[in-house]
Structure 1
Amino acid sequence: MSAAQPGRLVPATINLAMDHSIEEIILVAAYVKLYEFIIALRQWTETDVEGHLFVIKRNTQPHFLLIILNSRNTGYFVEIIDGHFELNLRQPFLRYQNGVRRIYGIWFSQTQEFQRAAEVFTRIVSTYAQPPSSR
């Protein structure tokens, strides 16, 4: 699987099961909804992305991916979680800024899933604050 551009929909014809670099699925959330902050308008807008969320760990670059299997159309939303990923947590939203400076908010329908996601994302982002040899 080639690295996707940050914050982009990827056609559903890409089969994640064929990505042999996946080591484990770290997180699964049953239902999330994606929002984007439009800086020029200074407001949040609803996107057409909602569905199951997965965070996967891979044995090659990029090592961590956020994937939302979109139930509203036939694509996946894919985001690379790396050293450029800036995290902000405010229940029920996990907000982040990616490497190309786009700002997104993920709304979690279940409190327990938000709490688990907050732990997982915080742990992943903190690994990039450490020297590369300790990751």
Structure 2
Amino acid sequence: MSHNGKLMPNLDEKTTKMLNLTVLQRIDPLVEEILITAAHVTFYEFNIDNSQNTQPRFQFIVMNRRNTDNLVENLLGDFEYEVQVPYLLYRNASQEVNGIWFYNARECEEVANLFSRILNAYSKVPTKSKVSPTKR
């Protein structure tokens, strides 16, 4: 299969997930599994500064296809998010406000729902999330 003149392997979903897990484990050997995958997102960074000092139990990672500078964010602690499909806006423990654009609106909703389940299960205080339903 060819994509933009590049030879692309035809891998099934399970094989792709295993390969992605291997790559993530090179970044962080403690990664145990991939809970959800979005095929195409764009990361936006906003200017708000502070510091962070908690050890994560759950993280999300946006793997950069252009270089090895990947985005890694901790989900527990002072993490807040809001969904405005196709955007997932969030404030991390460092008080940085960022946004992720999803090519596929359904994947945006699925990631937000997973965040909600994780935060509800592991946070001691109620989550500060707003998931807006998509009009279909």
Q: 1:98: which partner in 2?
A: 92
Higher strand share: 1
TM-score normalised over the length of structure 2 = 0.62
**Could you tell me how far 1:35 is from its partner in structure 2?**
0.5
CA–CA distance in structure 1, aligned partners of residues 27 and 95 of structure 2: 30
**Could you tell me how far 1:15 is from its partner in structure 2?**
5.6
State the Cα deviation string for residues 81-132 of structure 1 (Å, max 9, x = none). Answer: 112101111101111100010001010000121111111111122224347x
RMSD: 2.5
- Does the residue aligned with 1:94 lie in a helix, a strand or coil? strand
Q: How many residues align?
A: 98
CA distance change for structure 1 residues 120 and 79 in 2, over 3 Å: closer, same or farther? same
State the Cα deviation string for residues 43-91 of structure 1 (Å, max 9, x = none). Answer: xxxxxxxxxxxxxxxxxx5211111110232221111111210111110
Q: 1:124: which partner in 2?
A: 118
CA–CA distance in structure 1, aligned partners of residues 91 and 57 of structure 2: 18
- Structure-to-structure mapping, 1:14-93, within 5 angstroms: 16-17=25-26, 19=28, 21-39=30-48, 61-93=55-87
2:24–2:31 contact (8 Å) kept in structure 1: no
Aligned partner of 2:46: which letter? F
Q: Matched residues, percent identical?
A: 39
CA–CA distance in structure 2, aligned partners of residues 123 and 71 of structure 1: 28
CA–CA distance in structure 2, aligned partners of residues 38 and 21 of structure 1: 30
**Could you tell me how far 1:36 is from its partner in structure 2?**
1.4
Higher helix share: 2
**Could you tell me how far 1:16 is from its partner in structure 2?**
1.4
Aligned partner of 1:23: which letter? E
Aligned partner of 1:37: which letter? F
**Could you tell me how far 1:37 is from its partner in structure 2?**
2.0
**Could you tell me how far 1:21 is from its partner in structure 2?**
3.2
Larger radius of gyration: 2
CA–CA distance in structure 1, aligned partners of residues 29 and 66 of structure 2: 27
Aligned partner of 2:47: which letter? I
CA distance change for structure 1 residues 105 and 19 in 2, over 3 Å: closer, same or farther? closer
CA–CA distance in structure 1, aligned partners of residues 105 and 80 of structure 2: 21
Give the unaligned 5+ runs of structure 2: 1-22, 50-54, 126-136
2:76–2:123 contact (8 Å) kept in structure 1: no
